Amino acid sequence: MSYPDPPNQPSWVPPGPPTGGQPVGQPGYPMGMGAPQPPQYAAPRKNRIWMVPVAAGLGVALMASTVWAANSVVGDWFGGPQPESVLPASSIAFAKLDMKPSGGQLANYAQLVNKLPDEVKDEIDPATATNPARDIVEKEFEYLDYEHDVEPWLGKRFGFAMWESDAEAAQISRDGTTAAFALAVTDEDAARKALQKVEAKEGMAFEFRNDFAIIAPNGAAISDLDQQVATGGTLDGQADFSSDMAGIGGDTLATAWMDFGELSRLESRPSSRGGFGSGRSGNPFQELTGGEDVEGRVALSLKLESDYVELRGDMFGVKSGDSLEGFEAPEPGLEAMSSLPNDTVMAVGGSGLDSLMEQVWKENPDEFGEFEDALQEEGASLPEGFTQLLGSKSAFGITDVQGSFDEVFDSDFSFQFRATGADGDLLESLAEQLSAGTYGPTPGVNEDGDAVVVSSGAMGTGKLGDDAVFTKVMEGTEDSHVGFYFDLRQLSSSGDMSQPEQWGAFGAAMNFDGSSGTVLARWAPSADA
């Protein structure tokens, strides 16, 4: 077994299996509009038309959710149709922004704004904030006057959907898909005048349906959408979509949904690969499946609660060639992480990590060669060694970043490692071995009930689970399999933040059961603390 040489080496970190794997694919480029279509339909001439509703919606979501929403007249605010009520049930990808919140959401927004750091509040000050929709319209559509041509009719809900089309003239990508945007409108006559100007300049097509303007790349796509809705209904009536959306809950600011099985099937079609000279773009979601045969669906949501901002992702029956299908999920719980010291800056913890690593080891034994050799030198072997090291529930927390988060792993740092049911003798032997080549002290190994605790350096005497900000950001995640925590109050103090105590904490948690699971990521600011 080899060890790092002094100086400037960390005193010890808990042993673990090797890391690696394929990098997560990044989203593809924005969808192109494709080559000119047959003469009977006007061909789109500029790709930027597809960027504008998305950019406008994102800008509104980030700024107007607190400024515009909080200062709007409530009269015609609540209720109304959703974009999925006008887009086809055959959609394989969907996204929406809902800037027409319920009364409960408005109350949450107001409370959350009071907890934001002053530096963030300054950025969304109604006295100085600009309307992002106005900025985008004036920049991208110089022939439109926002106040006269757009503001009188622009609603507060935006949707996008992509589906497969058999009509070649409607297709905008090589895999045979087409797409449309749905923009809520409050005055169809006013909207028609503005959209006719855009239609003449950009070459797109539009129609009105149920208080939405549906914008598509050309008339063929509009016709195909009408046919899809007539024969299969709208997306809000699609069983899988409705069930998945119910799972992530309501009162969301933004949501997205994708059918990986259909995307994978389209990607595998010969026409979706290579550079055919059609001028159409490729599938913009291609890299999400990584070229593999993937099944299942995923639903995403962005929600603003009174104490935190939450991003949630649910996976339903997601399977691929290297998935953990058949893996029996262990008993969940983040007790070990909650038991870390109250001054913990960064933490990761989980339940059943030993079982998960055993499953990974069985599928990829060659990746664990050096790790297995190191364990054998200590008289341990796999798979039992995973439980001896990690226990059934474990957590690792750093309590001192030495004034610099960027350099924390380049110097000695204080930490605590907790593992329920681990082998204390094995951990003590490893601690002595790994710290023998450093100038730092050997970590102490003790027992706390049924948990083995390895500690090094100074740390608080309280429990992380008693910290008010930790409790807020990790609310409802007690039964998760894996959790992450970052105390931004302490991390921000080593940077350029003028009031680090206002930045609260970031937390994340994951539940999984074979091919299904849920991931949560939250930010809980603390300016009101």
Residues near 196 by beta carbon (within 8 Å), at least 6 away in sequence: none
Same domain, 356 and 473: yes
Six token digits for residue 430 = 């490893």
With CA atoms as reference, report the closest residue to 354 among 340, 375, 378: 375
Taking only Cα atoms into account, the Rg of the chain, rounded to an integer number of angstroms, comes to: 27
Q: Is residue 110 part of a domain?
A: yes
Q: Is residue 76 part of a domain?
A: yes
Is residue 325 very low, low, confident or very high in pLDDT (cuts 50, 70, 90)? low
Residues 70/113, Cβ–Cβ less than 8 Å: yes
Coil vs helix vs strand at 348: strand
Q: Is residue 34 part of a domain?
A: no
Indicate the average pLDDT of the chain: 79
Residues 50/30, Cβ–Cβ less than 8 Å: yes
Classify burial at 73, counting beta carbons within 10 Å of its beta carbon; exposed 0-12, middle 13-18, buried 19 or more. Answer: exposed
User: Does 14 have pLDDT greater than 70?
Assistant: no
Q: Is residue 30 part of a domain?
A: no
Using CA atoms, how far apart are residues 159 and 181, in angstroms rounded to an integer?
6
| Own/partner long-range contacts of 194-203 (Cβ < 8 Å, ≥24 apart) | 194/144, 194/149, 194/150, 194/153, 197/143, 197/144, 197/149, 198/49, 198/141, 198/144, 199/42, 201/141, 201/143, 202/44, 202/45, 202/46, 202/49, 203/42, 203/43, 203/44, 203/45, 203/46
Q: How far is CA 214 from CA 82, 88, 99, 152, 442, in A?
A: 13, 11, 18, 18, 66
Is residue 39 very low, low, confident or very high in pLDDT (cuts 50, 70, 90)? very low
pLDDT at res. 529: 67
What tens digit of pLDDT does each residue of 237-257 get?
999 999 999 988 888 989 999
Decide which of 491 and 345 is more confident: 345
Same domain, 368 and 479: yes
Across the range 36-50, mean pLDDT stands at 40
Name the pTM for this structure. Answer: 0.79
Q: How many domains does the chain have?
A: 2
Same domain, 239 and 352: no
Using CA atoms, how far apart are residues 298 and 244, in angstroms rounded to an integer?
8
Same domain, 330 and 232: no
User: Does 397 have pLDDT greater than 90?
Assistant: yes
pLDDT at res. 222: 97
Decide which of 497 and 505 is more confident: 505
Same domain, 285 and 327: no
Q: Is residue 184 part of a domain?
A: yes
Same domain, 335 and 396: yes
Peptide bond into 6 cis (omega under 30): no
Q: Cα–chain-centroid distance for residue 105?
A: 21
Counts of helices then strands in the chain (DSSP H, E): 17, 16
Q: Is residue 7 part of a domain?
A: no
Same domain, 65 and 210: yes
Same domain, 389 and 436: yes
Same domain, 269 and 371: no
Is residue 6 very low, low, confident or very high in pLDDT (cuts 50, 70, 90)? very low
Q: Is residue 315 part of a domain?
A: no
Q: Is residue 4 part of a domain?
A: no
pLDDT at res. 231: 97
Same domain, 111 and 242: yes
With CA atoms as reference, report the closest residue to 220 among 171, 159, 272, 260: 171
Using CA atoms, how far apart are residues 262 and 294, in angstroms rounded to an integer?
9
Same domain, 396 and 445: yes
Query: The domain containing residue 260 runs over which residues?
Result: 48-273+281-289
Same domain, 359 and 483: yes
